[in-house]
Amino acid sequence: MSGSLTIAGKTFASRLFIGTSRYPNQQIMLDALAASGAEVVTVAMRRVSLDGGGESLFDVLGGKYFLLPNTAGCYTVRDAVLTAQLGREALGTNWVKLE
């Protein structure tokens, strides 16, 4: 078995997916992501500000990692579907991590 992971034709050198929540500040999160070696970073769409005020999480991470939207914080099917659609539009991907 090789160390890489291929899903839907996309290959990642690392099999580790890491999240963006619960860090004390953005710099610690960035340091942790870099130290992990992960290429896929999950982002809770319901917890990310899309208002355009300042540098967003997408701006900070977008060029370095494959951003995987997730449905954290959703309690109904309707909320999860709407959040997945938001992730598709915001990140331009059909991928979603269902929580």
What's the alpha-carbon Rg for the chain, to the nearest Å?
14
- Residue 56, pLDDT > 70, answer yes
pLDDT at 53: 62
Q: How confident is the model at residue 51 (pLDDT cuts 50, 70, 90)?
A: low
What value does the mean pLDDT of the chain take?
A: 90
Task: Find the catalytic residue in 5, 90, 93, 97.
Answer: 97
pLDDT at 47: 77
- Residue 79, pLDDT > 90, answer yes
pTM confidence score: 0.86
Q: Is the separation of the CB atoms in 64 and 55 below 8 Å?
A: no
Q: If you average pLDDT over residues 13-26, what whole number do you get?
A: 94
Residues 25-60, buried b or exposed e (16+ Cβ, 10 A)?
eeeebeeebeeeebbbbbbbbbebeeeeeeeebeee
Q: How confident is the model at residue 89 (pLDDT cuts 50, 70, 90)?
A: very high
Helices marked H in 1-99: 26-36, 57-61, 77-91
Query: Is 64 considered catalytic here?
Result: no
The percent of residues above 90 in pLDDT, for the chain, comes to 75
